[in-house]
Structure 1
Amino acid sequence: MNQERVFQVLLGPHMTEKAAILADNKNQFVFKVAQDATKPEVKKAVEQLFDVKVESVRVVNARGKTRRTLHGIGRRKGVRKAYVSLAEGQSIDFADAE
């Protein structure tokens, strides 16, 4: 996988309270990924970018929330998230990655 595709697949980390708990307890990290990204692509991208060993990848399509506005009902953008499980002893520090 070339370096350009790595940055097209991984859009950034998804930092929430749930993601922080997963990182501490289960060694899982959450990333926002492109809509056309596949599990093998996400695995290769994370392994290349952060130099870690990935055990498994789970992908979730989160639909955007429906919101009422002055002009009617609208919808926020949806997001595709990847839950990446790392091998034992591996870790990602997002502060060092930048």
Structure 2
Amino acid sequence: MNEERIYKVLLGPLVSEKASLAAESGQVVFRVATNSTKAEIKKAVETLFDVKVEGVQVSNLKGKTKRTVRGLGKRKDTKKAYVRLAEGQDIDFMDVE
């Protein structure tokens, strides 16, 4: 996987109450590109953060339909990745360059 694709796969960390509960069990949650695969996500996390990934679970979220002045509109579909890190591994987002 080339360097450009790595940065296009991971869009950023997801910070929520559910993500903080997952962090207690050794998982990190990322927003990822909708056309990315589990193998690409695993490779991107391992190369960017220099950690060992045990597994990746992916969740597809459909965009909500919202009422606007001009009729109905739809938000974008998104994709989340729950990445399980190996025992003793940790990602500190403040320390990454």
Q: For 2:68 and 2:32, how far apart are their aligned partners in 1?
A: 28
Q: 1:17 corresponds to which residue?
A: 17
Separation of aligned partners in 2, 1:78 and 1:15: 18
Q: Which runs of 5+ in 1 are unaligned?
A: none
Mapped to 2, the partners of 1:93 and 1:26 lie a distance apart of 15
Equivalent residue number for residue 72 of structure 2: 73
> In the alignment, does 2:21 pair up with 1:50?
no
TM-score (norm 2): 0.93
TM-score, normalisation: structure 1: 0.92
**CA positional deviation for 1:9:** 0.8
Relative to total residues, which structure has the larger helix share, 1 or 2?
Answer: 1
Q: Structure 1 segments of 4 or more deviating over 2 A?
A: none
Whole-angstrom CA distance in 2 between matches of 1:76 and 1:5: 25
- Please give the per-residue CA displacement for 1:3-43, whole angstroms capped at 9, x wherever unaligned: 211101111111111111211x2111111111111001100
Q: CA deviation at 1:97?
A: 1.5
